[in-house]
Amino acid sequence: MRRTWLVMTVTAMVLAAAPSPALAQAKPRDKVTFQFAWIPYGKYAGFYMAKELGYYEQAGLDVTFVRGYGLQDGVNKLVAGVADLGEVNQMGSVGARARGAPLREVLMFHDKAMEVFYSLEKSGIRKPRDLEGKSIGGPKGAGARELFPAFAALNGVDASRVTFVDMPPDAMVAALVSGRVHATSNFITERPNYQRAAGQVGQKITSLVYSEWGLDLHANSIVATDKMIQDRSDVIRRFLEATVRGWLAAIERPDEAARMFVKNFPESNPELVREHWQIAVDHMLTPPAAEHGLGWIDPAKKKRTIEVYTKYIPLPHEVGVDEVMTNQFNPGIRPPKR
């Protein structure tokens, strides 16, 4: 009888000490698929900093990053729900919205325009009008190419005298250095790649940066569908806060951020990664970010961006600022003063 009582007592103590099945089983993390605009490179170091520091996991998220295949592919996958959130340029937010895609910007990645034309110094291209009679390589849908009518109008360029040559992004550096085209349309974060390639053949790179020639508009942003905003707003909020924390950590510790990126892409050059990231940072640390927090979307600048895209692309109609953007998810994390 005593033995039976002892066994029952010990059993009860063990059961009391053991967590219940509900407590023992960790709550599953919410899955999020994020699609970049193109192949991941150094400008995305802040995202991988967030991943490697465990910020997404701490936010209860299981995040998968996937490469993009250009503007239209990104828009299609977001609208179809293949990707939950994604990075697009203004043709993928303002332009897509005007054409009926239910996308809305939830965080600004590059607050300052990054579109640029690169050329070899020997081509003699120093100012916009020097592009007349020249060829420019790049993919359809590239920001600099889509905005060229506005760039030309503002700078007195005869757009009919400029020839665009279609080519994929990964062919542009070689096309320029080999002399196949006089210039390429690209993002300023790609500058280190061009400089190194040109240096290998004894040449130097020159550039025409849109923001320096009267066209400083918004560039790439993070977008979500209206359905995602309605159904999974808490997931968006947690993802963006973790991402901005990663950006801030990468801004403060760029060498570590480069190492985190290389950990995921061992074939990458750490020095190039850091250079790419530093250029991206220059286009993130703007006055609106300092005042309101990293990723803040300036409504006044968005309005100017919409007006330029509507007039010069042109778009079927002008969309409202509130249709294109929201700051409701911005975590309000201010960057360090520069």
pLDDT in tens, 99-139: 999 999 999 999 988 899 999 999 999 999 999 999 999 98
Residues 104 and 243 in one domain: yes
Backbone angles phi, psi at 205, to 5 degrees: -100, 140
Spell 136-164 as b/e; 16+ CB within 10 A means b.
bbbbebbbbbbbbbbbbeebebeeeebeb
Reported in sequence order, the residue ranges of the chain that DSSP labels E, i.e. its strands, are 30-35, 61-66, 85-88, 103-108, 115-120, 135-138, 163-166, 183-187, 205-209, 221-225
What share of the chain has pLDDT > 70, as a percent?
A: 92
Contacts of 152 (CB under 8 A, 6+ apart): 128, 158, 159, 162
User: What is the reported pLDDT for 8?
Assistant: 42
What is the band of 21 on the pLDDT scale with cuts at 50, 70, 90?
very low
* Closest-CA residue to 261 (of 251, 250, 287, 11): 250
The last residue of one of the domains, among 212, 241, 257, is 212
Total domains in the fold of the chain: 2
* pLDDT at residue 210 is higher than 50: yes
Residue 272 lies in a domain: yes
Q: 58 vs 22, which has greater pLDDT?
A: 58
Q: In this structure, what is the dihedral angle of CA atoms 160, 162, 165, 168, given to the nearest 10 degrees? A: -110
pLDDT in tens, 230-265: 999 999 999 999 999 999 999 999 999 999 999 999
Q: CA–CA separation, 293 vs 328, rounded Å?
A: 12
* pLDDT at residue 307 is higher than 70: yes
Determine the average pLDDT of the residues in 171-190: 95
Residues 233 and 311 in one domain: yes
User: What is the reported pLDDT for 20?
Assistant: 46
Q: Any idea what DSSP says for residue 325?
A: B
Backbone angles phi, psi at 166, to 5 degrees: -70, 130
Return the structure tokens found at 274. Answer: 């850091």
User: What is the reported pLDDT for 38?
Assistant: 87
Residues 223 and 236 in one domain: yes
How many of the other CB atoms lie within 10 Å of CB of 62? 12
Residues 205 and 242 in one domain: no
Residues 231 and 104 in one domain: yes
Residues 95 and 188 in one domain: no
* pLDDT at residue 6 is higher than 90: no
The last residue of one of the domains, among 188, 212, 236, is 212
Residues 133 and 203 in one domain: yes
CB 66 within 8 A of CB 39: no
Contacts of 314 (CB under 8 A, 6+ apart): none
CB 272 within 8 A of CB 192: yes
* pLDDT at residue 19 is higher than 70: no
Residue 50 lies in a domain: yes
Q: Which domain holds residue 184?
A: 115-212
* pLDDT at residue 331 is higher than 60: yes
User: What is the reported pLDDT for 25?
Assistant: 53
What is the band of 26 on the pLDDT scale with cuts at 50, 70, 90?
low
Q: What CATH number corresponds to the domain at position 94? A: 3.40.190.10
CB 299 within 8 A of CB 81: no
* pLDDT at residue 208 is higher than 60: yes
What share of the chain has pLDDT > 90, as a percent?
A: 83
Residues 107 and 228 in one domain: yes
* pLDDT at residue 14 is higher than 70: no
Backbone angles phi, psi at 209, to 5 degrees: -90, 125
Residues 74 and 60 in one domain: yes
Q: CA–CA separation, 83 vs 74, rounded Å?
A: 8
Determine the average pLDDT of the residues in 137-142: 85
Return the structure tokens found at 294. Answer: 């990293």
Determine the average pLDDT of the residues in 263-274: 97
* pLDDT at residue 24 is higher than 80: no
Determine the average pLDDT of the residues in 33-42: 95
Residues 129 and 65 in one domain: no
The last residue of one of the domains, among 212, 229, 253, is 212
Q: CA–CA separation, 296 vs 95, rounded Å?
A: 20
Residue 230 lies in a domain: yes
* pLDDT at residue 9 is higher than 90: no
Residue 224 lies in a domain: yes
Residue 15 lies in a domain: no
Determine the average pLDDT of the residues in 273-285: 95
Determine the average pLDDT of the residues in 11-23: 44
Residues 142 and 189 in one domain: yes
Residues 106 and 193 in one domain: no
Residue 86 lies in a domain: yes
Return the structure tokens found at 177. Answer: 């250095």
User: What is the reported pLDDT for 71?
Assistant: 83
User: 85-88 and 205-209: which strand pairing?
Assistant: unpaired
Determine the average pLDDT of the residues in 277-300: 96
Residue 338 lies in a domain: no
